[in-house]
Chains A and B, each alone.
Chain A
């Protein structure tokens, strides 16, 4: 028996979350006295996983899996878990992993806890802490099934280096035609821009910016920090920015290292969506804005003056420190 992770990649390269769940799995594996096995799909070079405590890799290479398919990928993970006799399967919280996780749980008759935010509080009984009520509370969940599936919330554990001697082998799961009934026809991806899901830093604008024509402020600041741009719900409802940028309780969740809110007052629903971010900065002209109650750093004043200045200062800082 070992502990299994699905190490996700895009275009043949591991996503950062793969290293985070590997780090997490390594720690859990130590506490229950076992090793970590990773299953990968169409990732040619898996050596990087040896830096994060993975002991063994089951490499799956198959053209049928060149586009993501939740059912088929879940089936691969299920077969890998069965081969390894894995009792704990750790998944990430990317769009794709969230999509496939319920299939893995049903397939293995496993109890599933999503949005897990830390190491198990106890392994017998098996209890984990997870986000609930849209980040307004935590919930301790006990999983009582023999096989357990955990979905780790992004950025909740971090990446911890731990060298291991990695062995890898080709794994040939049997693919079921019934899993390939959804035909992907078209994929549109914004290229050359950092996405909210991958970003370390997110710069978000609210109604305080007065109109879409002023978004250059947000974009310039984002460019300096290599950040993704986002917006509050009213801004997306007004059509100033695309819905894909809307962050908050009913929009995209943000769990980033640094979140800078410009001209966002901080409605409870917005805060719920971004509260898992580590460091929050608010720039707002209204010192009474609720955002100041949840932020780590705040600047009271006119965003139209402050943001360009801050962008300049950060540019200088980056020039000195790179």
Chain B
């Protein structure tokens, strides 16, 4: 089984978000980048397939040379090889088109993406890949098992979960549940050493028409101070929620 794990290189979840160039560009100054958390759950699940079913795991990212440490980290965690499509990810469709091409060339059975990245929160790349390739697609996926050429998958739905079966090739938009937080792996020294010698292929991007572009960023307006209500005067809280906030 050949698995492709698509990885976004995103600011760490604790990052302060600022912009430069007249609010047109994300300010990377002092920001630590990580594997997108939704992707990391999927990567760990892929490593389980590698360990238990002998799968070969490739990780891929669309990004500039500055994103290579994130791919090396994925290699250190256990991926067999890595691909970087050398382009700045301008919008979801552009990224999906690049990844679809990688998948077409590499004939992967299972493509694991995170359901969304924590930077642009587009949530569209996995579905677009499946749409472009005509593959089966499961979003908000919290479990995947593969037996031969078929998969059993569970996705989260509003207020519950849904179990389905699908044939490979399959694209999933994954999230926590594929593995749990405690299952995530921190690269050990041996992993880091071997990652240095694993293959990282750099591919040049395909042309893609630009359908959307981020023209500007804004930070939320500063919040007015909290109104404190004394613990002995909860009637006041009820009154505020009713008369002022009008939410009860």
Interface residues of A (CB under 8 A from B): 70-71, 74, 94-96, 98-103, 105-107, 109-115, 127, 129, 131-145, 178, 181-190, 193, 195, 197-198, 201, 225, 233, 237, 243-244, 246, 249-251, 257-258, 268-269, 272, 275, 278-279, 281-282, 292-302, 305-306, 309-310, 313-314, 317, 321
Interface residues of B (CB under 8 A from A): 11, 13-14, 17, 19, 37-38, 91-93, 96, 118-128, 130-132, 134, 136-140, 156-167, 175-177, 180-182, 210-220, 223, 226-231, 234-235, 237-238, 240-242, 245, 247-248
CA distance A4 to B91 in the complex (A): 24
Partner of A139, one of B139, B216, B231: B216
Given the known interface contacts A94-B158, A137-B219, A250-B176, the answer about A112 and B92 at a Cβ–Cβ threshold of 8 Å is yes
Closest to A225 in B: B248
CA distance A300 to B37 in the complex (A): 33
Are B14 and A268 neighbours in the complex by a CB distance under 8 Å?
yes
Contacts of A138 in B (CB 8 A): 217-220
CA distance A186 to B161 in the complex (A): 8
Are B158 and A95 neighbours in the complex by a CB distance under 8 Å?
yes
Given the known interface contacts A129-B218, A142-B215, the answer about A190 and B159 at a Cβ–Cβ threshold of 8 Å is yes
Closest to A256 in B: B247
Query: Could you list 6 examples of A-B contacts with CB < 8 Å?
Result: A111-B212, A143-B211, A250-B175, A279-B247, A281-B241, A297-B245
Are A244 and B157 neighbours in the complex by a CB distance under 8 Å?
no
Are B226 and A295 neighbours in the complex by a CB distance under 8 Å?
yes
Contacts of A131 in B (CB 8 A): 121
Are A317 and B248 neighbours in the complex by a CB distance under 8 Å?
yes
Given the known interface contacts A114-B123, A250-B176, the answer about A188 and B93 at a Cβ–Cβ threshold of 8 Å is no
5 additional contacts, CB 8 Å, given A136-B219, A136-B220, A305-B231?
A95-B156, A111-B91, A195-B159, A243-B177, A296-B245
Are A297 and B227 neighbours in the complex by a CB distance under 8 Å?
yes
CA distance A185 to B212 in the complex (A): 37
What is the CB-to-nearest-CB distance from A34 to chain B, in angstroms, rounded to a whole number? 21
Q: Which 8 A-B pairs have the closest CB atoms?
A: A102-B127, A106-B131, A111-B211, A195-B159, A301-B231, A189-B160, A197-B158, A258-B247
CA distance A101 to B158 in the complex (A): 17
CA distance A74 to B237 in the complex (A): 45
Are B238 and A186 neighbours in the complex by a CB distance under 8 Å?
no
Are B158 and A299 neighbours in the complex by a CB distance under 8 Å?
no
Partner of B248, one of A100, A182, A314: A314
CA distance A133 to B17 in the complex (A): 8
Are B156 and A251 neighbours in the complex by a CB distance under 8 Å?
no
Are A106 and B226 neighbours in the complex by a CB distance under 8 Å?
no
CA distance A138 to B223 in the complex (A): 15
Contacts of B234 in A (CB 8 A): 299, 306, 309-310, 313
Given the known interface contacts A133-B119, A189-B157, A237-B181, the answer about A297 and B219 at a Cβ–Cβ threshold of 8 Å is no
Contacts of B215 in A (CB 8 A): 127, 140-142
What is the CB-to-nearest-CB distance from B28 to chain A, in angstroms, rounded to a whole number? 13
Contacts of A142 in B (CB 8 A): 212-213, 215
Given the known interface contacts A145-B211, A313-B235, the answer about A132 and B217 at a Cβ–Cβ threshold of 8 Å is yes
Closest to B173 in A: A99
CA distance A105 to B93 in the complex (A): 9
